[in-house]
Chain A
Amino acid sequence: MHPIISVSNVTKKYASGLVALNGVSLDIERGEIFALLGPNGAGKTTLIGIICGIVNASGGTVAVDGHGIGKDYRAARSLIGLVPQELATDTFETVWNTVSFSRGLFGLPPSPAHIAKVLKDLSLLDRRNSKILTLSGGMKRRVMIAKALAHEPQILFLDEPTAGVDVELRKSMWDLIRQLNASGVTIILTTHYIEEAEEMAGRIGVINKGEIVVVEEKAELIRKLGRKQLTLDLQKRLDAIPEGLDGHPLALAADGRQLIYTYDSKSERTGIASLLKDLSEAGIRFKDLSTQQSSLEDIFVGLVSQK
Chain B
Amino acid sequence: MNWRGVLAIYGFEMARWRRTLMQSVVSPVISTSLYFVVFGSAIGSRIDSIDGVNYGAFIVPGLIMLTLLTNSIANASFGIYFPRFIGTVYEILSAPVSPFEIVLGYVGAAATKSVILGLIILATAGFFVPLQIAHPFWMLLFLVLTAVTFSLFGFLIGIWADNFEKLQAIPLLVITPLTFLGGSFYSIGVLPPFWRKVTLFNPVVYLISGFRWSFYNIADVSVALSLGMTAVFLAICAFLVWRVFKTGYRLKT
Contact = CB atoms under 8 A, between A and B. Distances in A.
Contact of B96 (A90, A97, A106): A106
Interface string A141-155: 000000100000000
Q: How large is the interface on A (under 10, 10 to 19, 20 to 34, 35 or more residues)?
A: 35 or more
Nearest to A48: B94
A67 B3 CA distance: 21
A49 B253 CA distance: 9
B163 interface: no
B11 interface: yes
A101 B88 contact: no
Interface string B1-31: 0111101110110011001000000000000
B164 interface: no
Nearest to A53: B94
A52 B145 CA distance: 35
A75 B9 CA distance: 20
Contact of A102 (B16, B91, B93, B252): B91
Nearest to A89: B88
Contacts of A101: 8, 11-12
B88 A74 contact: no
Contacts of B92: 105
Contact of A77 (B87, B96, B252): B96
B97 A90 contact: no
Interface in A99-114: 101-109
B239 interface: no
Contacts, number: 79
B231 to A, nearest CB: 31
A87 B11 CA distance: 23
A97 B2 CA distance: 19
Given A74-B96, A88-B88, A102-B91, A56 B253 contact: yes
B90 interface: yes
Given A77-B96, A97-B15, A105 B90 contact: no
Contacts of B94: 52-54, 77, 80, 82
Contact of A105 (B5, B16, B87, B253): B5
B97 A86 contact: no
Nearest to A87: B87
Contacts of B97: 105, 107
B95 interface: yes
B2 A74 contact: yes
A100 to B, nearest CB: 8
B93 A54 contact: yes
A147 B91 contact: yes
Q: Give the one of B9, B92, B94, B96 with max A CB within 10 A.
A: B94
B86 interface: yes
A78 B2 CA distance: 11
A81 B93 CA distance: 12
B248 interface: yes
B5 A106 contact: yes
Nearest to B9: A105
A39 interface: no
Nearest to B82: A90
A216 to B, nearest CB: 28
B152 to A, nearest CB: 21
22 contacts: A52-B94, A54-B90, A54-B252, A54-B253, A55-B252, A56-B252, A56-B253, A77-B95, A78-B96, A88-B87, A101-B11, A104-B4, A105-B9, A105-B97, A106-B95, A107-B3, A107-B4, A107-B5, A107-B96, A107-B97, A108-B4, A147-B91
Given A74-B96, A97-B15, 11 more contacts: A15-B253, A53-B94, A56-B252, A88-B86, A88-B87, A101-B8, A104-B4, A104-B8, A105-B4, A105-B92, A106-B95
The 5 lowest CB-CB distance pairs between A and B, nearest first, are A88-B87, A104-B8, A74-B96, A107-B2, A52-B94
